[in-house]
Structure 1
Amino acid sequence: MSRRSPLTLAALATSAVAGLDVTHAAPLGGTGGEVDSALLSTRDGRTLVIRVPRTAAAESEQSADLVAVRALSDGVRARLPFGVPRMLGQAPIDGTRAIVSEFVDGAPVRLDAITPGTAASIGRAIAAIHALPTSVVADVGLPQLRAIDVMREAVTTLDRAAATGLVPAALLRRWELAAEDSALWQFTPTVINGSLSAASFLVVGDSVTGLLGWARLQVGDPARDLFWMLGSSNPDVPETAFDAYHQARGVHDREVGRRAVFAAELELARWLLHGTERRSTEIVDDAVGMLHALLDRVSGDLTNPLAAEPTASLGLDEVDELLERGTPRSPGSAY
């Protein structure tokens, strides 16, 4: 299927939103090859976005995102220090649907471009999500995971990864010891976005102005929203973000940093499992290379697992790349 032009999308938007008068349409960058999108200017001075999924995976993600965004009522949005795009209308097209939503100002960020100032704003933004009442999730039937569910899902992932025979034995032992550490799993689940990466955030200057992608909104482990920052090559970035997060939350989860390390490492195992399920030699080889590189980085910590300073950079920049690629996981996945 050829890509839909901005003019075609603008015409579609007028059928999705009654009375909409579009005066200008331009391509919208950063949405990837699975979505047709355009930035629209309207006669009444608004800036809107229209998106049409091109694949079944993108359509599924869009549907889940809509459920989550609808759960964010005006009262909930008022508690967040950033904007969340609001859906204005939809229209059927070619067996899927076009969604028109508000435009939130800001530029997407890259992990390697995050400054300590931006990291502090990101930490506060994540803390605001985690401070939302769990009824936001419960009232719309989205997943609610207990701490034991998070632990069991992690164990299932490492067991499946072990069954491939491709994970270094020393890494498996490191993960098994972490899973068996009861102190690690003593936490109170919170509302989490569930799919954060650097690309999720829109910023102006050093301030987070918007957050995109809510398809995995759920109650779960706060570490799920934090671990991607450990991939920064600048150790000040995770340290500043975690500090700002704890200050804004006012609740100190002593083990959130260690669980974040665990989650970051397990993301490589997930990539391996994705490759084996797809029977992709390329992905499997990529994942095995990442696992051996991780083994080299943590080799001095294997007998005292996850004991390194939890807010220090792990150099796992590939983890953020995997998150931006959309490493598959079930909607209720803890990690």
Structure 2
Amino acid sequence: MLGVELDPGSARPDESGWDFLVTHIRARDGAWWILREPRRPEAVRRLEREEAVLAAVRDRMPVPVPDWRLRTPRLVAYPRLPGEPAGTEDQDLLVYRWAIDPLAHPDGYLGPLARALATVHSTAAALPATTPGELRTAVADKLARARTELRLPGPRTRRWQAWLDDDELWPDRLVLVHGDVHPGHTLVERPLSGPPRLSGLLDWANAGVGDPAADFVDLLYAGGPPVLDRLLDAYRDAGGEVRPGMRAHILARASFLWVHVALRGLDTGRPAWVETAMSRIAG
């Protein structure tokens, strides 16, 4: 089916992903391939959408993206992109450890990443559409569920409600988003001479029509406000729209991320995620 012969003895599993089990495996000709297997039925359902998004963006992107050569309901295979992850996440503590300094050479990493995001956000894709109001309602529903199932601090809950009620902060139009832009999904190459440079953008499983601010939250979480500010500046320079209130909206989304993680931990039976998320919410 794949058209290449793989060497089973070379297989190296990577179980760090939330939604997919990834295996690095070498073909008999020496080329490395990626095999992705969904961990849950919901991940299986997202494969068709992910394939459509990749088809829409692949020829427009300033950096490589996966080129799927095989997709079945339980397996995706594609040639491995060059480079290594810019960072890794501790699966229990949910803390990123950078393999590079994203601020040391922003022209090699944050600049190209900003151009990639601007390209994604300006790409049209034939996907089921939602409205800004529906997006906001979904966040409100998640907060309502969290107030029922989690012990949320009153002051934090009131700040989230104020964020939800502030029309100035929420986008009036939605765009195509990657949906999961964190260091582990960005690849970097290290030339023999010169700084590391962005060499790929992985894992489009959460891509869809959504809030452009979503593509900045994980980089803020991983690198703090200095990384966010440099990324937003580069995004603006690349033609991306940085509307008034967008930075504050990203900060609010980033704090609300821990509600999402806590509920995800409840839904997937991962008490360590719930504990970590609740400690961040309380902090």
TM interval, shorter chain, is 0.7 to 0.9
Aligned to 1:132: 123
Aligned partner of 1:333 in structure 2 is: none
What's the CA shift for 1:35?
2.3
Q: Which residue of 2 aligns with 1:61?
A: 43
Cα distance in 2 for partners of 1:26, 1:279 equals: 32
Deviation at 1:167, TM superposition (A): 0.7
What corresponds to 1:299 in structure 2?
none
**What stretches of structure 1 of length at least 5 have no aligned partner?**
1-15, 294-335
User: Aligned pair in 2 of structure 1 residues 215, 289: CA closer, same or farther (>3 Å)?
Assistant: same
Match of 2:157 among 172, 195, 220: 172
Aligned AA (1:65):
L
Is the 1:25–1:38 Cα contact (8 Å) retained in structure 2? no
Highest Rg: 1 or 2?
1
> Following TM superposition, by how much is the alpha carbon of 1:184 offset from its aligned partner in structure 2, in angstroms?
1.0
How many angstroms apart in 2 are the aligned matches of 1:156 and 1:98?
Answer: 33
Counterparts of 2:68 and 2:9, CA distance in 1:
18
Say whether the 8 Å CA contact 1:184–1:259 is kept in structure 2. yes
- Aligned-partner residue type, residue 54 of structure 2: L
How far off its partner does 1:29 sit? 5.4
C-alpha distance in 1, partners of 2:268/2:203? 25
Cα–Cα, structure 1 residues 230 and 169, in superposed 2: closer, same or farther, change >3 Å?
Answer: same
**1:80 equivalent in structure 2:** 61
Query: How is 1:65-214 mapped onto 2 (pairs within 5 angstroms)?
Result: 65-73=47-55, 76-89=57-70, 97-110=74-87, 111-113=96-98, 114-116=101-103, 117=106, 118-133=109-124, 136=125, 138=126, 142-164=127-149, 166-205=151-190, 206-214=196-204
Aligned to 1:261: 251
Of 257, 261, 280, the match for 1:271: 261
Counterpart contact for 1:131–1:249, Cα < 8 Å: no
Residue identity matched to 2:157: L
Deviation at 1:181, TM superposition (A): 0.8
Alpha-carbon distance in structure 1 between the residues aligned to 2:71 and 2:147: 44
Q: Judge which range, 172-181 or 224-233, deviates more.
A: 224-233
Amino acid in the other structure paired with 1:152: T
The answer (yes or no) to whether the contact 1:119–1:238 under 8 Å persists in 2 is no
Judged with a 3 Å threshold, the aligned counterparts in structure 2 of structure 1 residues 227 and 17 are, in CA distance, closer, same or farther, namely: same
Between the aligned partners of 1:226 and 1:124, the Cα distance in structure 2 is 13
- After TM superposition, the score normalised by the length of structure 2 is 0.80
What are the Cα deviations for residues 96-153 of structure 1, in whole angstroms up to 9, with x where unaligned? 64432122111111154241212233222222211112xx1x2xxx342221122111
Question: Is the Cα–Cα contact under 8 Å of residues 228 and 264 in structure 1 kept in the other structure?
Answer: yes
Within the alignment, does 1:27 sit opposite 2:17 as a pair? no
Mapped to 2, the partners of 1:42 and 1:219 lie a distance apart of 39
> Percent identity between the aligned chains?
22
8 Å CA contact 2:111, 2:235 repeated in 1: yes
Q: From the two aligned structures, give the one with the greater helix fraction.
A: 1
How far residue 154 of structure 1 moved from its aligned partner, in angstroms, is 1.6
Q: Which moved more, 1:193-202 or 1:106-115?
A: 106-115
**Aligned-residue RMSD, C-alpha:** 2.8
Unaligned runs of 5+ residues in structure 2 are 88-95, 191-195
Q: 1:229, CA displacement in angstroms? A: 1.6
1:287 deviates by 2.8
